[in-house]
Structure 1
C-alpha cells in the first residue's frame, strides 16, 4: 500500500484563528519574511503538491535569504559611505590604467582577512573614490565590517576624543572594523599632533586590520602632509607593507566628460 503525499491543507473560511496564531508566533520569533509570505508559499506548495518538509524548507529558505539581504544592507549602511558607488558601474574604458581583473580580486575578502592595505593613487577625477566606495561596498556585502571616512574627519574626530579623554575608546572602535576606508588621504597638511593621532590608528590595525586609502599625492609627496620625517616614514611603511597598489593615472574622467558634453 502506498502512502499519499501530505500537502499543506487549503485555506478555509474559518482559518482566521490559524492566521492569527501564525502571525503572533512569527512576531514573537522575529520571522518577518515568513509572516509576510507564508500564504504565498503555502499556495505554491499546494499547487506543486509539496510535502510538509518541502513546504517548511521553502519557508525557512525565504526567511534566511531575506535575513542575509537585510544584513548586507545593514553593513553597507553602517559603513557610512557618502554616496552609493558600485564596482559594476565603473567605466574601465574611460580609465585603461585599471583592469577588471585587479578590481575583481579586491572585491573578494581574502586581502582583508589577511590584513593587507590598499593604496589608490592618482589625480582628481580618475576614479579613486568610486573604487574605494565600490570595493568597500563589496566587502561589506560579503559580511565584513567596513567604515568609510575622510582623513580630515578622522583626525578631527580623534582630536575631539583626545580632548574629551575618549581617545583610547575611539581608536579601539576603529580597530574593530575589518576594513577602514580613508578617502582624501594627504589632501591637507597635518600638524604633528594630528599626524600622531592618525599614526595611532594605523598602529592599532597594523597587519591585523586592512586600511584602504585614496590619495591624489604620490608617495614622494607625502612628506608635505606629514612634516615630521620619521613619522612620515613610519606611516608610509605601515600603509605600503604587503599593500595592493593601484595607480589610477592623471587623466580626469570628470574633466573629459565635461569637455565631451560641451
Structure 2
C-alpha cells in the first residue's frame, strides 16, 4: 500500500519509497500515467537489487493520489513533484518520462542545488503549447474557448479531456522559450518511432539547454512507451552512468 504525503495545497500524493544509499532516484511519470507503470516498477526493482534509494509517486488526479485529472494542470503537478522532492533529504537524480521530463526540467530549474543528475525518457517539454494547442483546428480552439474543454482521442484508453486551464497554465511553465541551464549530468533517451513526441523535440531540447554534460541517445524503432526490455535496460544504464559521474 502506498504512503501518502499531504501537500500545503491540501492534495494527497501517493508514493512508494525504497530505502537505500543515495542520491535518491525519483521517477516522474507522464500525462495521465501512474506510478504502477512498467518503467517506474522496473526502476524500483533495480533500486532494491542494488540497495539504492528510490521514490515513485502519482501527481494529483493521477493513479492513487487525490483529485480529478481534469482539474489539474502543469503547475499543479510541478508543485506536487516539488513537495515529494522536498520530503527527501540529500541529492536527487530525477528520471522524467514524457510529461515527467518537462516537470523534471522545471524542478531542475527551480531547485538546481538539489538536482545532482537528470535522465529524461521521451521528454515532452512545452507539449501543451507546441503539440496540443498548435495541433488544434479552428473548431477545437473555439470549443475550448466556449466550453472550457475538448476531448482528444488516445491510444492509451479513454479520450483525454484537455481543459482551457491546462493550456493557459502550461504557458506559465514553458521551458524552451527562456534560458535553461542544467548544471548536472543529463542523459536524454528518445525513440525514433515515437508517435507522441517527435524526435525534433529531443533535438530542440538538446540545442536549447546549456550545461557541461548533456547527451541525447536516439533509439531506432523505439516508441513512446519506451518499455521494451532493451529500452528498460537503456534507462537503467543511463541512471547508473549519471550516478557514477556523481560519485566520481
- Structure with higher Rg: it is 1
Which of 1 and 2 has higher RCO (CA within 8 Å, sep 6+)? Answer: 1
Where is the strand percentage greater, Structure 1 or Structure 2?
Answer: 2
Question: Is TM > 0.5 for Structure 1 vs Structure 2?
Answer: no
